[in-house]
Structure 1
């Protein structure tokens, strides 16, 4: 496979493989356990994380087919986290489809999610690589970090004393490490030099932080139709996002009082709360501040990429990936 492949070609290649696997999973007994897993995997999405495994593998001259088990492991694990996240957040929709706990029930969502987390390892250990132990160790460390990030996120629900640094550490664990892991798994599988694999990991961390900041911004300011779920969910649930924490830091006493009043209200009109808080964020210039921080992480990601000892034309696809993440609308 040539190094000049596009992201969409990698997406197509992975989507075809995933479709076959999802069909096999759907036909496994007991159906009540496996059908929700297949349903989750067929919901769609850009499949960026598994594509990153394949791209990184390709960058260092690896065999794409041999990287596919790791790509499947990443995608299944990622979807497991979304399945359980939707349940914890009581979210009704995911990618314009009813979330698993809504379509089936909570118990099904718990058990099918558990099965997916195990299934991810079953795929990973199918990888043909002399470095399989290193890959499993990285995957396990990442899986635990994602759980830690989710716990911090939950801890933040009941307190306003969350610093921006606390928040950035939480999203590093909850979001960025899985993106970084995807890239490093592909690199390790292809036999990349340790330093280069680490630079690619750090590229992923910075990209992941920018990705989550973009997600927070989209949750408030996106076009709902393109976003695929209702906007304002973070505002409604008082989620400690960069926008909220920065608003508390920058607001005048009157603005802060308004914000805290809305945070403390137990009963409220959802549309009104979203409108008031969104307006306050706009007044404080938070979309611009958030975009500036995203840009800083984007530049840091490009610096990490530039230090990898591979011809620059082979790295252009990673710059395309970073741009895609920065400009996405959903």
Structure 2
């Protein structure tokens, strides 16, 4: 069995190559530029880990992992356009560097390249893999649209936000693990437990992400905390604060969301603490993590084989950056 770090290194070596033809350079260079920026490679490596839980890693898993990483990067290129984001991974975003029209096409052709990777999968697996990939791709788009809808909504129920996060973030983690399990020869029951493990882990991951943005150590987090607060993003923390605050606290929060005061972040954090949002978020994160680990425990393979996935789950959810 390989550790997550070992598989990240192996996938990085495998993935670091030209993914597009040389011409027309105006179409393909932006895609190569974006892919060369690197990334955490969590999703493709989860595919490999999902396979290795049940059997030696199959050649098809490398193709599917590549397709998953290309699809994920396609979503990032388009997300950056929708968010008008100037930077990604410390570099200019594709639409800033090459223009919006080219960025749209670069994202489109990256998605097509992902399907070309999938087409190489053995025929006995291909229908199942394509069905899951297509369902996931559609759900990710639904999640992104809901996220944009919520930006304009005056209020968002917490359950609706969790549904959005499940679609936008969790289903791709879940599908990455499940495609690997399918290629590893897992039973239907084991495949379902693998999916639920990834889905619940993804929600816990987002809770931790929201928590770190507000309460993280800037030196460990790698950036200034409070970015979500400054952008008035509806996060787990803000939604819970609005649900549990007193009428006066709720009025203060709503007023702060309409303003850009120099001490806005500090004022909002003070209100978050007064509403015990930090303790609540930690508890919620742990609840989703425990549900994820319950599904991992239920998978019918010897427990020693599950250690890399358990270690990864603990790292992702208890990280401080």
Give the superposition deviation at 1:62. Answer: 4.0
Aligned to 2:13: 16
Q: Deviations over 1:202-248 (max 9, x none)?
A: 00010010011112122223345654555433223322211111110
Name the CA distance, whole Å, in 1 between partners of 2:216 and 2:76.
20
Contact 2:58–2:184 (CA under 8 A) maintained in structure 1: no
Aligned to 1:6: 3
Does residue 255 of structure 1 match 2:249?
Answer: yes
Contact 2:58–2:183 (CA under 8 A) maintained in structure 1: no
Q: Which one of 135, 138, 161 corresponds to residue 132 of structure 2? A: 138
Q: Relative to structure 1, is the Cα distance of residues 13 and 183 closer, same or farther in structure 2, using a 3 angstrom cutoff?
A: same
Give the superposition deviation at 1:79. Answer: 1.3
Name the CA distance, whole Å, in 1 between partners of 2:294 and 2:309.
12
Aligned to 1:86: 80
* RMSD after superposition: 1.8
Q: Which one of 303, 311, 316 corresponds to residue 302 of structure 2? A: 311
Does residue 211 of structure 1 match 2:205?
Answer: yes
Question: What is the TM-score with the length of structure 2 in the denominator?
Answer: 0.94
Name the CA distance, whole Å, in 2 between partners of 1:86 and 1:230.
20
Aligned to 2:274: 283
Give the superposition deviation at 1:100. Answer: 2.0
Does residue 322 of structure 1 match 2:313?
Answer: yes
Q: Deviations over 1:151-207 (max 9, x none)?
A: 111111111331110000000000000000000010111221111011000000100
Q: How many residues align?
A: 321
Give the superposition deviation at 1:306. Answer: 0.8
Name the CA distance, whole Å, in 2 between partners of 1:67 and 1:254.
54
Q: Deviations over 1:224-278 (max 9, x none)?
A: 565455543322332221111111012122221111112234xx34x43223222
Does residue 112 of structure 1 match 2:109?
Answer: no
Contact 1:94–1:228 (CA under 8 A) maintained in structure 2: no
Q: Relative to structure 1, is the Cα distance of residues 227 and 109 closer, same or farther in structure 2, using a 3 angstrom cutoff?
A: farther
Give the superposition deviation at 1:105. Answer: 2.2
Name the CA distance, whole Å, in 2 between partners of 1:273 and 1:129.
56
Aligned to 2:121: 127
Query: 173-182 vs 98-107, which deviates more?
Result: 98-107
Does residue 47 of structure 1 match 2:41?
Answer: yes
Give the superposition deviation at 1:295. Answer: 0.3
Contact 1:62–1:189 (CA under 8 A) maintained in structure 2: no
Q: Relative to structure 1, is the Cα distance of residues 201 and 272 closer, same or farther in structure 2, using a 3 angstrom cutoff?
A: same
Give the superposition deviation at 1:98. Answer: 2.4
Contact 2:125–2:182 (CA under 8 A) maintained in structure 1: yes
Give the superposition deviation at 1:119. Answer: 1.5
Q: Deviations over 1:121-146 (max 9, x none)?
A: 11122223511111001000000000
Question: What is the TM-score with the length of structure 1 in the denominator?
Answer: 0.92
Give the superposition deviation at 1:101. Answer: 2.1
Q: Relative to structure 1, is the Cα distance of residues 107 and 154 closer, same or farther in structure 2, using a 3 angstrom cutoff?
A: same
Gaps of 5+ in 2: none
Q: Relative to structure 1, is the Cα distance of residues 225 and 106 closer, same or farther in structure 2, using a 3 angstrom cutoff?
A: farther
Gaps of 5+ in 1: none
Q: Which one of 173, 176, 180 corresponds to residue 170 of structure 2? A: 176
Contact 2:212–2:221 (CA under 8 A) maintained in structure 1: yes
Give the superposition deviation at 1:102. Answer: 2.5
